[in-house]
Amino acid sequence: MSAPPHVQASGGPSRTGDRRVVARCAARPADVRTALGRVMAGLAPHLGDCAGRTATELVLAEVLNNVVEHAHASDAPCAIRVEVRVREGRLDLSVSDDGRPMPGGRLPAGQFPSLAGPKATLPEGGFGWPLIHSLARDVRYRRRYGRNELRLALCLKAPGATTAPKTPQ
């Protein structure tokens, strides 16, 4: 089954020899879900059952959801590009979009909201960026040529293993 015109995915070795998965989609919930599924399917041979699999999917889902909810202006189209490079022991993720810039031109804080107080006053949101910061390393943002660029890294480590799994050749 081929990808709909608004969701594209590809994979293979990069110029540096690292394995990579690339997906492009529109900032619409259904397209983002499809793109996330295709990225995870493309990464499956490299992730196996490692502990980083769940973290990878969670971080990507949070980032893509943030683009849809916050960067995408409902009256204008917004294109998203995801690239994941598989390196020994880690994944390097890059997500770019042509939506609105981050407020203040920088990443939101990585602090979880307070859970003190009565149940009725507990926050419903505000957990995404702290979750991303807690699972990823080297989280960086910049606005360049009218696009948001988010880069981060995730460690890959098999449960109970002392070293990360090697990338299949």
Q: Does domain 7-155 have CATH number 3.30.565.10?
A: yes
CB atoms within 10 A of CB 64: 24
Residue 53, classed as helix, strand or coil, is helix
Lowest mean pLDDT among 14-28, 59-73, 141-155: 14-28
Q: How confident is the model at residue 15 (pLDDT cuts 50, 70, 90)?
A: low
**Residue 164: predicted pLDDT:** 43
Extract the tokens encoding 79.
């294109």
Determine the Cα–Cα distance for residues 71 and 167; give it in Å rounded to an integer.
34
Question: What pLDDT, in 10s, does the model give residues 56-75?
Answer: 999 999 999 999 988 887 76
Extract the tokens encoding 63.
């980032």
**Residue 31: predicted pLDDT:** 94
- Mean local confidence (pLDDT), 109-125: 72
**Residue 63: predicted pLDDT:** 96
